[in-house]
């Protein structure tokens, strides 16, 4: 459903992408992780027609993003990092405008507005001005807007950034329901637990290149199951173990002040790149 080959993107002397290739099959929820400047947003911009690659090719549902740009754009809905709703319009007016941009007929727009607002549990906010909504409600309106034209692919570029944990988890549930409806989802996020919970597969991007690609569980299993953290001379030291007894035996042997926890995706990323996933 999503395919790109040898994508390069250069801004002056900065190489944002350096030969990235990837395939995402229909119905998969794929997480694309990495620190700021790693190339995540650049990739989405290329896939959605907002940027032209310096080299390489990309396809959405078989349509080339350059040669068949209009058809490719119709395949996808986009929820960007920043809230870009028209704050002076109502929820309904924002969705109606989006439908008109995609040349939807009036009756179809009205029907679809009702459907998507019901889907994101905002039917009672149809006539509310966007400017009075909370951050979490605005994010749900943006997801509803992205779904207006029934896209086959949904791009979520840090859809829960800045939201409190309870609202984030509500949006997680919504995203999983969208996937169950048959959509292919391409997610970028700085929240490691978000990728662990949502994604079927994960790619770690660093300095414009993919440095790891697999299911979250397989990536974590490659490190171990349990992790021991401690501060040594001002730096964090982490040791990894296959089972809890091994970890506890190490604590007992060295009598050090360790903190025991489960291995997570951030452990994998740090081991591959030497950096943390930070917003």
Task: Give yes or no for a contact between 30 and 199, defined as CB atoms under 8 angstroms apart.
Answer: yes
Check residue 209 and give its pLDDT.
Answer: 95
pLDDT at 225: 96
140 and 242 belong to one structural domain: no
Task: Flag whether 273 is in a domain.
Answer: no
Strand (E) or helix (H) holding 112: helix 106-119
pLDDT in tens, 129-168: 999 999 999 999 999 999 999 999 999 999 998 899 999 9
- Place 11 in a pLDDT band, splitting at 50, 70 and 90: very high
pLDDT band at 279 (very low <50, low <70, confident <90, very high): very low
**E strand or H helix at 245:** helix 244-254
Domain that includes residue 235, residue range: 224-262
- Is 44's pLDDT higher than 90? yes
Per-residue confidence band for 6, with pLDDT thresholds at 50, 70 and 90: very high
Confidence of residue 276 (pLDDT cuts 50, 70, 90): low
Q: Do 156 and 184 belong together in one domain?
A: yes
pLDDT of 278 above 80: no
Q: What is the pLDDT of residue 275?
A: 64
- Each residue of 13-42: pLDDT tens digit? 899 999 999 999 999 999 999 888 889 989
Residue 275 lies in a domain: no
pLDDT of residue 127: 98
C-alpha span between 151 and 141 (Å, rounded): 16
Q: Exposure pattern of 132-149 as b/e (b: 16+ CB <10 Å)?
A: ebeebbbbbbbbbbbbbb
3-state secondary structure of 63: strand
- Residues 205-249 pLDDT 10s: 999 999 999 999 999 999 999 999 998 888 889 999 999 999 999
CA nearest 21: which of 38, 3, 33, 9? Answer: 3
Nearest to 44 by CA among 80, 96, 93, 5: 80
Q: End of a domain among 189, 215, 241?
A: 215
Cα(202)–Cα(33) distance, rounded to whole angstroms?
Answer: 7
Residue 278 lies inside a defined structural domain of this protein: no
201 falls within a domain = yes
71 falls in which pLDDT band (50, 70, 90)? very high
- For the cut 60, the answer to whether the pLDDT of residue 52 exceeds it is yes
Strand partners, 230: 237
Record the tokens describing residue 114, joined without a space: 């009702």
Do 110 and 151 lie in one domain? The reply is yes
Question: Do 167 and 204 fall into the same domain?
Answer: yes
Which position has the higher pLDDT, 231 or 3? 3
Residue 199 sits in the same domain as residue 254: no
CATH number of domain containing 104: 3.40.50.300
Residues 132 and 240 in one domain: no
pLDDT tops 60 at residue 277 = no
Question: What proportion of the chain, given as a percentage, has pLDDT over 90?
Answer: 84
Q: What is the mean pLDDT of residues 55-69?
A: 97
Whether residue 237 is found in the same domain as residue 150: no
Task: Let me know if residue 271 belongs to a domain.
Answer: no
Q: How far is it, in rounded angstroms, from Cα 100 to Cα 117?
A: 17
Per-residue pLDDT at 270 exceeds 50: yes
Q: State what percent of residues in the chain have pLDDT above 70.
A: 98
Per residue, the 3-state secondary structure of 161-221, as one string, reads CCCCHHHHHHHHHHHHHHHHCCCEEEEECCCHHHHHHHCCEEEEEECCEEEEEECHHHHHH
- Residue 61 to residue 59: CA distance in whole angstroms: 6
Q: Is residue 269 part of a domain?
A: no
Residue 267 lies in a domain: no
> How many domains does the chain fold into?
2
Decide if 205 contacts 31 (C-beta within 8 A): no
Structural domain includes residue 174? yes
d(CA 8, CA 53): 6
- The answer on pLDDT for 255 being more than 80 is no
| Residues 211 and 250 occupy one common structural domain | no
């Amino acid at each position: 459903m999503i395919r790109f080959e040898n994508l390069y993107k250069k801004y002056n002397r900065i190489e944002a992408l350096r030969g990235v290739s990837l395939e995402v099959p229909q119905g998969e929820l794929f997480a694309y992780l990495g620190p700021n400047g790693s190339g995540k947003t650049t990739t989405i911009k290329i896939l959605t027609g907002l940027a032209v690659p310096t080299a390489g090719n990309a396809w959405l549902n078989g349509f080339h993003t350059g040669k068949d740009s209009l058809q490719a754009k119709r395949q996808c809905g986009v929820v960007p990092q920043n809230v870009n709703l028209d704050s002076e319009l109502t929820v309904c007016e924002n969705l109606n405008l989006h439908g008109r941009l995609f040349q939807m007929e009036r009756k179809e727009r009205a029907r679809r507005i009702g459907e998507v607002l019901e889907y994101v549990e905002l039917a009672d906010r149809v006539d509310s001005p966007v400017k009075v909504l909370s951050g979490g409600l605005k994010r749900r309106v943006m997801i509803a807007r992205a779904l207006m034209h029934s896209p086959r692919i949904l791009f979520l570029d840090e859809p829960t950034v800045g939201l409190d944990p309870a609202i984030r988890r509500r949006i997680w549930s919504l995203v999983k329901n969208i996937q169950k409806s048959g959509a292919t989802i391409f997610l970028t996020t700085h929240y490691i637990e978000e990728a662990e919970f949502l994604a079927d597969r994960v790619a770690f991007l660093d300095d414009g290149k993919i440095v790891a690609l697999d299911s979250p569980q397989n990536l974590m299993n490659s490190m171990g199951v349990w992790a021991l953290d401690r501060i040594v001379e001002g730096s964090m030291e982490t040791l990894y173990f296959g089972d809890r007894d091994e970890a506890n035996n190490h604590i007992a042997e060295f009598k050090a002040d360790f903190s025991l926890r489960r291995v997570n995706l951030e452990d994998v990323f740090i081991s591959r790149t030497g950096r943390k996933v930070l917003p």
